[in-house]
Structure 1
Amino acid sequence: MATAPTRLQVLALYKQFIKNSKQFNNYNFREYFLRRSRDSFKQNMALQKPEEVSRAYSDAKEELGILKRQAVISQMYTFDKLVVEPLNNKHHH
Protein backbone atom coordinates (compact mmCIF):
# COMPACT_ATOMS: atom_id res chain seq x y z
CA MET A 1 0.00 0.00 0.00
CA ALA A 2 1.44 3.32 -1.07
CA THR A 3 1.66 6.24 1.32
CA ALA A 4 -0.33 9.25 0.19
CA PRO A 5 1.66 12.48 -0.24
CA THR A 6 1.14 15.24 2.28
CA ARG A 7 -0.81 18.39 1.46
CA LEU A 8 2.48 20.34 1.44
CA GLN A 9 4.00 17.93 -1.08
CA VAL A 10 0.98 18.30 -3.38
CA LEU A 11 1.06 22.11 -3.07
CA ALA A 12 4.80 22.15 -3.83
CA LEU A 13 4.20 20.01 -6.90
CA TYR A 14 1.38 22.32 -8.02
CA LYS A 15 3.66 25.36 -7.62
CA GLN A 16 6.29 23.65 -9.77
CA PHE A 17 3.67 23.04 -12.47
CA ILE A 18 2.67 26.70 -12.44
CA LYS A 19 6.29 27.91 -12.41
CA ASN A 20 7.28 25.67 -15.32
CA SER A 21 4.13 26.47 -17.29
CA LYS A 22 4.99 30.17 -17.09
CA GLN A 23 8.36 29.51 -18.72
CA PHE A 24 6.90 28.84 -22.17
CA ASN A 25 7.71 31.64 -24.60
CA ASN A 26 4.64 31.02 -26.73
CA TYR A 27 1.50 32.57 -25.23
CA ASN A 28 -0.81 29.80 -26.42
CA PHE A 29 1.33 27.02 -24.97
CA ARG A 30 1.86 28.94 -21.73
CA GLU A 31 -1.85 29.57 -21.21
CA TYR A 32 -2.73 26.00 -22.19
CA PHE A 33 -0.34 24.46 -19.66
CA LEU A 34 -1.39 26.88 -16.92
CA ARG A 35 -5.05 26.03 -17.52
CA ARG A 36 -4.37 22.30 -17.78
CA SER A 37 -2.32 22.31 -14.58
CA ARG A 38 -5.02 24.13 -12.62
CA ASP A 39 -7.80 21.91 -13.99
CA SER A 40 -5.89 18.72 -13.32
CA PHE A 41 -5.14 19.60 -9.71
CA LYS A 42 -8.72 20.78 -9.12
CA GLN A 43 -10.07 17.54 -10.54
CA ASN A 44 -7.80 15.46 -8.31
CA MET A 45 -8.80 17.38 -5.16
CA ALA A 46 -11.81 15.08 -4.91
CA LEU A 47 -9.67 11.94 -4.60
CA GLN A 48 -10.14 10.30 -1.20
CA LYS A 49 -8.42 6.91 -1.25
CA PRO A 50 -4.69 7.02 -0.43
CA GLU A 51 -3.95 4.70 -3.37
CA GLU A 52 -5.69 7.05 -5.81
CA VAL A 53 -3.93 10.09 -4.37
CA SER A 54 -0.55 8.34 -4.57
CA ARG A 55 -1.16 7.26 -8.16
CA ALA A 56 -2.24 10.78 -9.19
CA TYR A 57 0.81 12.25 -7.43
CA SER A 58 3.18 9.83 -9.18
CA ASP A 59 1.58 10.55 -12.54
CA ALA A 60 1.84 14.29 -11.91
CA LYS A 61 5.55 13.98 -11.07
CA GLU A 62 6.13 12.21 -14.38
CA GLU A 63 4.14 14.87 -16.23
CA LEU A 64 6.18 17.58 -14.49
CA GLY A 65 9.35 16.08 -15.92
CA ILE A 66 7.86 16.23 -19.40
CA LEU A 67 6.63 19.79 -18.83
CA LYS A 68 10.11 20.90 -17.68
CA ARG A 69 11.75 19.42 -20.78
CA GLN A 70 9.20 21.04 -23.09
CA ALA A 71 9.61 24.41 -21.34
CA VAL A 72 13.38 24.27 -21.97
CA ILE A 73 12.79 23.44 -25.63
CA SER A 74 10.28 26.30 -25.86
CA GLN A 75 12.89 28.75 -24.60
CA MET A 76 15.11 27.89 -27.57
CA TYR A 77 12.64 29.57 -29.91
CA THR A 78 11.37 33.12 -30.03
CA PHE A 79 7.86 34.11 -30.93
CA ASP A 80 6.29 37.45 -31.74
CA LYS A 81 3.93 38.79 -29.11
CA LEU A 82 0.27 38.21 -29.82
CA VAL A 83 -2.34 40.95 -29.66
CA VAL A 84 -3.76 39.47 -26.44
CA GLU A 85 -0.43 39.63 -24.61
CA PRO A 86 0.63 42.66 -22.57
CA LEU A 87 3.59 44.45 -24.15
CA ASN A 88 5.52 44.45 -20.87
CA ASN A 89 5.30 42.86 -17.43
CA LYS A 90 4.41 46.20 -15.82
CA HIS A 91 0.94 46.21 -17.34
CA HIS A 92 -1.29 48.68 -15.53
CA HIS A 93 -5.03 48.14 -15.18
Structure 2
Amino acid sequence: MSSSSAAVKAVKTSINVASAVSSQTVSAASIASLKNAYMTNINLFTNYNFREYFKRKYNKEFESLNENFNKNQDIRAEYEKLNQELRMIKRQSIINQLYKFDELIVESK
Protein backbone atom coordinates (compact mmCIF):
# COMPACT_ATOMS: atom_id res chain seq x y z
CA MET A 1 0.00 0.00 0.00
CA SER A 2 2.83 2.40 0.78
CA SER A 3 4.46 1.89 -2.62
CA SER A 4 1.26 2.87 -4.42
CA SER A 5 0.85 5.94 -2.22
CA ALA A 6 4.44 6.90 -2.96
CA ALA A 7 3.74 6.59 -6.69
CA VAL A 8 0.63 8.74 -6.37
CA LYS A 9 2.61 11.29 -4.39
CA ALA A 10 5.31 11.36 -7.10
CA VAL A 11 2.69 11.88 -9.82
CA LYS A 12 1.05 14.70 -7.87
CA THR A 13 4.45 16.33 -7.31
CA SER A 14 5.31 16.12 -11.02
CA ILE A 15 1.92 17.60 -11.93
CA ASN A 16 2.46 20.47 -9.48
CA VAL A 17 5.94 21.15 -10.90
CA ALA A 18 4.62 21.06 -14.47
CA SER A 19 1.80 23.45 -13.67
CA ALA A 20 4.20 25.77 -11.84
CA VAL A 21 6.50 25.88 -14.86
CA SER A 22 3.63 26.50 -17.26
CA SER A 23 2.17 29.26 -15.11
CA GLN A 24 5.43 31.20 -14.92
CA THR A 25 5.61 34.29 -17.08
CA VAL A 26 8.52 34.87 -19.41
CA SER A 27 10.48 38.00 -18.56
CA ALA A 28 13.00 39.96 -20.58
CA ALA A 29 15.71 38.82 -18.16
CA SER A 30 14.86 35.16 -18.72
CA ILE A 31 15.00 35.68 -22.50
CA ALA A 32 18.38 37.38 -22.14
CA SER A 33 19.75 34.58 -19.95
CA LEU A 34 18.46 31.97 -22.43
CA LYS A 35 20.19 33.79 -25.30
CA ASN A 36 23.37 33.99 -23.23
CA ALA A 37 23.22 30.23 -22.61
CA TYR A 38 22.73 29.66 -26.34
CA MET A 39 25.74 31.75 -27.31
CA THR A 40 27.91 30.07 -24.68
CA ASN A 41 27.01 26.62 -25.99
CA ILE A 42 27.24 27.64 -29.63
CA ASN A 43 30.78 28.89 -29.08
CA LEU A 44 31.73 25.38 -27.93
CA PHE A 45 31.39 24.08 -31.50
CA THR A 46 34.83 23.33 -32.92
CA ASN A 47 33.65 23.58 -36.53
CA TYR A 48 33.44 27.15 -37.82
CA ASN A 49 30.56 26.45 -40.20
CA PHE A 50 28.36 24.91 -37.50
CA ARG A 51 29.19 27.70 -35.08
CA GLU A 52 28.35 30.49 -37.53
CA TYR A 53 25.19 28.75 -38.77
CA PHE A 54 23.79 28.39 -35.25
CA LYS A 55 24.72 31.98 -34.39
CA ARG A 56 22.78 33.30 -37.39
CA LYS A 57 19.83 30.99 -36.80
CA TYR A 58 19.37 31.76 -33.14
CA ASN A 59 19.98 35.49 -33.49
CA LYS A 60 16.96 35.50 -35.82
CA GLU A 61 14.97 33.34 -33.39
CA PHE A 62 15.68 35.65 -30.47
CA GLU A 63 14.92 38.76 -32.53
CA SER A 64 11.44 37.40 -33.26
CA LEU A 65 11.03 36.34 -29.61
CA ASN A 66 11.92 39.86 -28.45
CA GLU A 67 9.55 41.41 -31.01
CA ASN A 68 6.70 39.19 -29.78
CA PHE A 69 7.62 40.01 -26.19
CA ASN A 70 7.46 43.73 -26.95
CA LYS A 71 4.06 43.24 -28.60
CA ASN A 72 2.83 41.56 -25.37
CA GLN A 73 1.99 38.31 -27.14
CA ASP A 74 1.95 34.97 -25.33
CA ILE A 75 5.43 33.63 -25.96
CA ARG A 76 5.53 30.79 -23.46
CA ALA A 77 5.30 28.08 -26.15
CA GLU A 78 8.05 29.67 -28.22
CA TYR A 79 10.20 30.06 -25.11
CA GLU A 80 9.70 26.38 -24.19
CA LYS A 81 10.61 25.36 -27.76
CA LEU A 82 13.85 27.34 -27.48
CA ASN A 83 14.58 25.65 -24.12
CA GLN A 84 14.25 22.25 -25.78
CA GLU A 85 16.46 23.36 -28.65
CA LEU A 86 19.06 24.58 -26.15
CA ARG A 87 19.28 21.06 -24.77
CA MET A 88 19.76 19.81 -28.34
CA ILE A 89 22.51 22.39 -28.95
CA LYS A 90 24.30 21.22 -25.78
CA ARG A 91 24.21 17.61 -26.97
CA GLN A 92 25.33 18.53 -30.49
CA SER A 93 28.23 20.67 -29.26
CA ILE A 94 29.48 17.76 -27.15
CA ILE A 95 29.29 15.43 -30.16
CA ASN A 96 31.02 18.06 -32.31
CA GLN A 97 33.91 18.27 -29.84
CA LEU A 98 34.58 14.56 -30.28
CA TYR A 99 35.78 15.12 -33.84
CA LYS A 100 38.81 17.03 -35.08
CA PHE A 101 38.26 19.48 -37.92
CA ASP A 102 40.92 21.29 -39.87
CA GLU A 103 41.06 25.00 -39.25
CA LEU A 104 39.59 27.02 -42.12
CA ILE A 105 41.27 30.04 -43.67
CA VAL A 106 38.60 32.36 -42.26
CA GLU A 107 39.39 31.11 -38.75
CA SER A 108 43.11 31.83 -38.76
CA LYS A 109 44.10 34.85 -36.74
Place the TM-score, normalised by the shorter chain, in its bin.
0.7 to 0.9
Stretches of structure 1 that go unaligned for 5 or more consecutive residues are 88-93
How far does the alpha carbon of each residue in 1:5-49 deviate from its partner, in whole angstroms, 9 at most, with x for none?
111111000000111111100000000011111111012222122
Q: Structure 1-normalised TM-score?
A: 0.84
Q: CA RMSD in A?
A: 1.4
For 2:57 and 2:39, the matched residues in 1 are separated by 10
Match status 1:33 vs 2:54: yes
* Structure 2 letter corresponding to 1:29: F
Q: Structure 2-normalised TM-score?
A: 0.72
> Superposed, which structure 2 residues align to 1:37-52 within 5 Å?
37-47=58-68, 48-49=72-73, 51=74
For 1:56 and 1:86, the matched residues in 2 are separated by 37
* Larger Rg belongs to: 2
Match of 1:73 in 2: 95
Percent identity among equivalent residues? Answer: 32
Greater per-residue helix proportion: 2
Stretches of structure 2 that go unaligned for 5 or more consecutive residues are 1-21
Q: Does 1 or 2 have the higher relative contact order (CA < 8 Å, sep 6+)? A: 1
